[in-house]
Amino acid sequence: GQQLNQSPQSMFIQEGEDVSMNCTSSSIFNTWLWYKQDPGEGPVLLIALYKAGELTSNGRLTAQFGITRKDSFLNISASIPSDVGIYFCAGFNSGNTPLVFGKGTRLSVIA
């Protein structure tokens, strides 16, 4: 089945630093999604992208839908301790097909 390659697998950063992570696929998606999972919780949607080349922001988070439709990027600016968690990318096409999730990037923020 389809797979998403997410990198890096984990990151340790200092509070205040910017963070970048990305997700690539061997096949095209019509929608890219970024979720965050806080420790002990279920994932929650952060940002959704619908169009190739689209750049969307949600507070300190910015995500981009790659022009090839096979990749997406998430940036977090000026990280804070509550940014700790696992960030998942997900690709979606349409209809009944389930979302395809990446394996996640585990972010740790050192105060």
- Per-residue DSSP letters for 41-79? S--EEEEEE-STT-EEEETTEEEEE-TTSSEEEEEE-S-
Site size for another protein, by CB under 8 A?
22
Give the one residue of 21, 25, 43, 69 binding another protein; rule: CB under 8 A.
43
What minimum distance in Å lies between the beta carbon of 1 and another protein?
7
Instruction: Tell me: does residue 67 bind another protein (CB under 8 A).
Output: no
CA 64, CA 56: separation in Å to the nearest integer?
6
Instruction: Tell me: does residue 107 bind another protein (CB under 8 A).
Output: no
Instruction: Tell me: does residue 103 bind another protein (CB under 8 A).
Output: yes
